[in-house]
Amino acid sequence: MNKVGTPDALMRFLQGYESLPGVADELKRPDGTLRPVWDPLIRYLASKSPEQLARSFARGDQYLHDTGVYFRQYSGDESTMRDWPLSHVPVIIGQDEWDGLAEGIAQRAELLEKVMADLYGDGELVRDGFLPADLIAQNPEWLRPVVGIKPRSGHYLHFLAFEIGRSPDGSWFVLGDRAQAPSGSGFALENRMATSRVFHDLFPKSNVERLATFFRVFRDAMVGLKGGDGGRVAILTPGQHTDTYYEHAYIARYLGFLLLECEDLKVQDGQLSVRTIAGPEPVSVLWRRLDSRFADPLELDETSALGTPGMVSALRSGAMDLVNCLGSGVLEARALMAFLPRICEHLMGAPLKMSNIATWWCGQDHERAYVLENLERMMIGSAQSTKLPFDIDRTTALGGKFRGEARGPIEDWIAREGKSLVGQEAVTLSTTPAMIDGKLKPRPMVVRVFATRTPDGWAVMPGGYARIGRDGDPTALAMQAGGSVADVWVMSDKAIHADTLTSTASGPLLRRQPGLLPARAADNLFWLGRYAERAEGAVRVLRAWHLRLEEHGTRNVPLVSALGDFLTTFGHDIEDPVPVMLLGHFDASVVCASKVRDRFSTDGWNALNDLSETARKLAAKVTHGDDAARAMTVLLRKTAGFSGLVHDNMFRFLGWRFLTLGRALERADHIAAVLAVLADEATPPGGLDAAVEIGDSVMTHRRRYTIETSRETVIDMLALDRENPRSLLYQIDILREEEEQIADATAQPRMGEATRRILMLQTMLAVSTSGQISSRRLNRIRRELAGISEALTAQYLS
């Protein structure tokens, strides 16, 4: 047993932790004594100085920062990212208690499956009076085109979440069912990673159930759904603008599944396929993280811009399985909870093992009367809402009062719109310790728990995603906005066998098959390469311009003016020392990278964001001349850091090759453009030296040619020298090599347009002498590069 922390020290540490009367507390029993499962953690906390604790907590925050976990918040039209609000103290629940809870969850999951099968099958629950017909008919998530479809696997539901809380009597109850496209499991995993770093010396010794086992079982179940057909397993995300996109990308990487957007998918001959750089590839299991309604603009919501036309048809033809089946959102309506207790007895032959929040549908006379008599302890809101009881909107009444603007007596409202309203008991939640200003304080909490269907029944994740209220108010209200999140430790008496996702008989993880690169991802990587390089090129010219501006003190010198014109031609407004267009290039690279976060290293992502932010900061303060030139040097250094990460550390998978193609193409274009002006017969004095400087080849030139710069030496070195990584021909060699690799990997039947054009350009340059590379020729080469880009797009990227 841990000897640190005398009883006195413990008492001192817990001083001020007062659980509220009539409220269950996770840490303390009603008699004020500590629950034994918390003992090791509290002793550990008590044994540390405030400075030590601060350092431990910072370790967790650093982890979250380094892995790029952020929280996207929406307010109006704006979305902002803020730091992940981790409450460092986990919620601890004993194994025995957890086992009972998990049984209740498994029962409820199976119950929801049966209800779903009935609502999309024979409709007997309505026929036999267990559910009112209008409640289902008016539910916008009950999707008529799905009625009559039987999923290929025989099951509608495969992955569910439940929001649970603990009532004052100590029992657990369900506040909401999450069946549409439950999020949070990946965040739970991230909370675990961070929390295990905070308690890096305590966690390994604690008998905390590991989460990896659950994810392995889930992954195996997903793969098992393929049932031997050759298709892929993929995750469907609404895209980077959704608040849980980070989680989608994270979990796709963790589980080794493809991350797709609707645009990646196509239904052809009744089969769902992903558009890849090598043509369509069948998808047979899709973990849907997009709301059903939006999944198919042809048969479902016709206004959806996100969907895949034909998705319902593909489901109907039985060529694939969706996790969960389309239409599962119908199970989330609040009003359903008024009927589930009775339906459970009917369908499962047993009462609910874990009750749900008491709910009364105001469309029934008796229930409506009850709600009216008990307005004081009711939350009244939309019957069809899928929000949790504490997600209060303007049309919610609580304790007999409207939350929003006054709308007359509540009684009238209920009488008028009873069918669309439910009353729910205003609940009191349990409290759990959170560290606030160096002291533990009780804060209300709810926990989201997760369940997945396996061949042996439902498996419940031992742990979950806890949300902690912002202040001490134990009513559900405190959970609305703000607050923090915490890990959940299920503590066993027995030693825990550490598990990881890879220690499994089901084979090694993350073996992606080459060739399975979605065309959209390849396109974003290609443009990431182009924009990042376009930015670098612009920075080089800007630096050269600012340096000469400083040197000459005026723009009315031929060279300064030529460089200025060059920048203007490329859209840069040189009245700004750091033109907006340059910031635009950095932003565009970040946007491209954000769309392929599952294929892009976190270090690379951070470096790119850092570049973009630095450029913005510098733009706000630097002035023309030396100041701006120095700023450009800073940006160049950071660019080199980013390039290093991408080109030295990234695995040479196909996506990387597209990134490299983009970069080489853009660099070739940039060099050609620079040479066409600065190596022209009519270049101003100093132009050739500027070209060499922009081409980053000053040292090389000096070593190579003992003579002064001449048109011949500059063209030779920057256009035709195969050894110079900045030369035009060097870029074309890269295009040739990478495109060849891609053509091989995608088994192109014969030489494509892109291959042909690259080969011709390469040959032309290889046999040219520097005298033949006129400015006219350079401009023709630039047009040819644009043609190559189009050919690459047509062949692989659309």
Residues that bind another protein (CB under 8 A): 119, 123, 126-129, 132-134, 136-138, 142, 144-145, 147-148, 266-270, 297-299, 301-302, 309-310, 313, 316-317
| CB closer to another protein, 419 vs 512 | 419
Give dist(CA 584, CA 590) in Å, integer.
Answer: 10
Give dist(CA 181, CA 79) in Å, integer.
Answer: 21
Report the SS3 class of residue 760: helix
| CB closer to another protein, 71 vs 130 | 130
Decide if 657 contacts 664 (C-beta within 8 A): no
Q: What residues pair up with 485 in beta bridges, in sequence order? A: 86, 467
| CB closer to another protein, 136 vs 588 | 136
| CB closer to another protein, 110 vs 118 | 118
Decide if 379 contacts 397 (C-beta within 8 A): yes
In sequence order, which residues have a C-beta less than 8 Å from that of residue 493 and are 6 or more positions away?
95, 207
The burial class, CB within 10 Å (0-12 / 13-18 / 19+), for 775 is: middle
Query: Cβ 310 to another protein, closest distance in Å?
Result: 5
| CB closer to another protein, 302 vs 708 | 302
Query: Cβ 234 to another protein, closest distance in Å?
Result: 20
Query: Cβ 509 to another protein, closest distance in Å?
Result: 34
| CB closer to another protein, 131 vs 371 | 131
Report the SS3 class of residue 14: helix
Query: Cβ 130 to another protein, closest distance in Å?
Result: 10
| CB closer to another protein, 186 vs 363 | 363
Query: Cβ 281 to another protein, closest distance in Å?
Result: 16
In sequence order, which residues have a C-beta less than 8 Å from that of residue 766 and are 6 or more positions away?
729
Query: Cβ 468 to another protein, closest distance in Å?
Result: 37
Q: Which two structure tokens, joined as six digits, stand for 679? A: 């190596």
Phi, psi of 708 (to 5 degrees): -60, 160
Q: Which of 438, 381, 356 is nearest to 163 (CA)?
A: 356
| CB closer to another protein, 59 vs 266 | 266
Query: Cβ 314 to another protein, closest distance in Å?
Result: 11
Query: Cβ 124 to another protein, closest distance in Å?
Result: 10
Give dist(CA 59, CA 568) in Å, integer.
Answer: 47
Report the SS3 class of residue 737: helix
Give dist(CA 718, CA 778) in Å, integer.
Answer: 12
Query: Cβ 600 to another protein, closest distance in Å?
Result: 27
In sequence order, which residues have a C-beta less than 8 Å from that of residue 269 and are 6 or more positions away?
none
| CB closer to another protein, 19 vs 420 | 420
Query: Cβ 138 to another protein, closest distance in Å?
Result: 5
| CB closer to another protein, 480 vs 798 | 798
Give the CA angle between residues 367, 369, 372 to the nearest 5°: 110
Query: Cβ 145 to another protein, closest distance in Å?
Result: 6
Give dist(CA 789, CA 661) in Å, integer.
Answer: 9
C-alpha distances out from residue 647 to 515, 644, 652, 663, Å: 20, 5, 9, 11
| CB closer to another protein, 144 vs 756 | 144
Q: Which two structure tokens, joined as six digits, stand for 157? A: 């539901």
Q: What residues pair up with 556 in beta bridges, in sequence order? A: none
Query: Cβ 522 to another protein, closest distance in Å?
Result: 17
Decide if 284 contacts 229 (C-beta within 8 A): yes
Give dist(CA 707, CA 698) in Å, integer.
Answer: 13
DSSP state string for 363-403: TSHHHHHHHHHTGGGEEEEESS--S-TTS--TT-EETTEES
Q: Which of 170, 188, 173, 165 is nearest to 108 (CA)?
A: 173
Give dist(CA 342, CA 385) in Å, integer.
Answer: 21
How would you classify the pairing of strands 359-361 and 421-425? antiparallel
| CB closer to another protein, 33 vs 303 | 303
| CB closer to another protein, 298 vs 650 | 298
Q: Which two structure tokens, joined as six digits, stand for 426? A: 């205003």
What are the residue ranges of helices labelled H in 487-601? Answer: 519-552, 558-569, 580-594
Give dist(CA 334, CA 318) in Å, integer.
Answer: 31
Look-up of token digits 């590991």: 210
Query: Cβ 277 to another protein, closest distance in Å?
Result: 17
| CB closer to another protein, 326 vs 631 | 326
Query: Cβ 359 to another protein, closest distance in Å?
Result: 20
Decide if 338 contacts 302 (C-beta within 8 A): no
| CB closer to another protein, 273 vs 524 | 273
Query: Cβ 705 to another protein, closest distance in Å?
Result: 50
Query: Cβ 298 to another protein, closest distance in Å?
Result: 5
Give dist(CA 374, CA 363) in Å, integer.
Answer: 16
| CB closer to another protein, 166 vs 293 | 293
Q: What residues pair up with 288 in beta bridges, in sequence order? A: 236
In sequence order, which residues have a C-beta less than 8 Å from that of residue 608 and are 6 or more positions away?
532, 586, 589, 590, 593, 642
Element (H, E) at 453: strand 439-454
Q: Which two structure tokens, joined as six digits, stand for 82? A: 């803020």
| CB closer to another protein, 138 vs 240 | 138
Query: Cβ 303 to another protein, closest distance in Å?
Result: 8
